[in-house]
């Protein structure tokens, strides 16, 4: 089968399309025939060597939408089931940017019925990241949340999910994105930040760090969506990073919200798998609103 891989670290030109063996599902795993999968910044980080793995062949792609092709018993899925899944891992030989991928059965959810596979393939990584970050924040209806990077994939989902929970959301993004961010459910918008201590929590999807921490009230909560150093704790503010984990039950909840119209799936452009390097170059150019998607 064909798969997008990296053998040497570098820019978009380092992405190759290789012929690799079709993976075989083990116990409690399923093999998915891939229909589509989003390209994410984490793929660019793998390609650049951020997570290591020099000398290995590394697969790319964390998002998958497709159909179950084979099942390793026991698993509660059948051949032909339309599904979505998160394919977690940054140093594995195969990722979701391939014709087939194997995942744990517990990472899988039935695909949304209201959208096509290209759109469904944008949901798992960013939707689960936003959901798990909100859970870490632990805010209640009526609390005030500021989301940085609110026009991006994670930030956009976070705005929609938080607003759906009854949280008062301020979206932080470039001024040109105000209309988009408000359309996602933000009650307020800022391109310049917020007053000191003015919100109960910050979901820092743009990884602004210390300045965004200053916007949180004493005893509030701050969660960044990228692994790494957090701002120094101050004023009793709880801080944490979210490192997304596969969770089929949570993914099924996100699918339900897609089908109910609560969550919007945004696609900027779709590329055939053979043009993976071109898609990486487009991602590196910045400025996309919505995900780039690879289609085998």
Residue 171 in any domain: the answer is: yes
Do 146 and 229 lie in one domain? The reply is yes
Do 228 and 289 lie in one domain? The reply is no
Other residues' Cβ atoms within 10 Å of the Cβ of residue 79: 12
Do 93 and 130 lie in one domain? The reply is no
Comparing CA positions, the residue from 262, 243, 241, 291 lying closest to residue 123 is 291
Do 97 and 148 lie in one domain? The reply is no
CATH of the domain at 95: 3.90.180.10
Instruction: Identify how many contiguous H helices and E strands the chain contains and give both numbers.
Output: 8, 16
User: End-to-end distance of the chain based on CA atoms, in angstroms?
Assistant: 10
Residue 161 in any domain: the answer is: yes
Domain count, the chain: 2
Query: Token pair for residue 98?
Result: 């391939």
Query: Which residues of the chain are modeled with pLDDT < 70?
Result: 90-92, 228
Do 73 and 176 lie in one domain? The reply is no
Residue 30 in any domain: the answer is: yes
Question: What pLDDT score was predicted for residue 94?
Answer: 84
CATH of the domain at 176: 3.40.50.720
Residue 260 in any domain: the answer is: no
Residue 258 in any domain: the answer is: no
Residue 259 in any domain: the answer is: no
As a whole number of angstroms, the distance between CA 151 and CA 158 comes to 10
Do 91 and 189 lie in one domain? The reply is no
Question: What pLDDT score was predicted for residue 90?
Answer: 67
Residue 281 in any domain: the answer is: yes
Bond before 87 cis per omega within 30 degrees: no
Question: What pLDDT score was predicted for residue 73?
Answer: 82
Name the phi and psi angles at 111, rounded to 5. -65, 155
| Residue range 246-277, pLDDT digits in tens | 999 999 999 999 999 999 999 999 999 999 99
Question: What pLDDT score was predicted for residue 232?
Answer: 87
Do 116 and 137 lie in one domain? The reply is no
Do 107 and 147 lie in one domain? The reply is no
Q: Check residue 289 and report its DSSP letter.
A: S
Residue 55 in any domain: the answer is: yes
Question: What pLDDT score was predicted for residue 204?
Answer: 97
Q: Which range marks the domain in which residue 66 is found? A: 2-122+265-295
């Amino acid at each position: 089968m064909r798969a997008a891989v990296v053998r040497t670290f570098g820019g978009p030109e380092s992405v190759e399309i290789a012929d690799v063996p079709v993976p075989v599902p083990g116990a409690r795993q399923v093999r998915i025939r891939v229909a589509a999968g989003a390209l994410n910044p984490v793929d660019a980080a793998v390609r650049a060597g951020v997570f290591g793995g020099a000398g290995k062949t590394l697969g790319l792609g964390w998002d998958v939408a497709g159909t179950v092709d084979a099942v390793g018993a026991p698993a509660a899925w059948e051949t032909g089931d339309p599904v979505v899944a998160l394919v977690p891992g940054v140093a594995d030989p195969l990722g979701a940017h391939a014709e087939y991928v194997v995942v744990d059965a517990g990472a899988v959810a039935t695909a949304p019925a209201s959208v096509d596979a290209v759109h469904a393939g944008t949901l798992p990584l960013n939707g689960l990241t936003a959901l798990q970050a909100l859970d870490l924040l632990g805010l209640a209806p009526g609390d005030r949340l500021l989301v940085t990077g609110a026009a991006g994939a994670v930030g956009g989902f976070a705005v929609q999910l938080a607003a759906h929970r009854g949280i008062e959301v301020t979206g932080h993004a470039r001024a040109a994105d105000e209309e988009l961010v408000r359309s996602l459910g933000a009650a307020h918008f800022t391109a310049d930040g917020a007053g000191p201590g003015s919100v109960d929590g910050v979901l820092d999807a743009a990884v602004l760090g210390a300045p965004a921490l200053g916007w949180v009230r004493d005893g509030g909560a701050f969660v960044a969506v990228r692994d790494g150093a957090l701002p120094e704790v101050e004023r009793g503010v709880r801080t944490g990073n979210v490192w997304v984990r596969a969770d089929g039950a949570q993914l099924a909840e996100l699918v339900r919200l897609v089908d109910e119209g609560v969550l919007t799936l945004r696609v900027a452009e779709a590329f055939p798998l053979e043009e993976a390097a071109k898609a990486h170059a487009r991602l590196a150019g910045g400025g996309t609103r919505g995900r780039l998607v690879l289609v085998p």
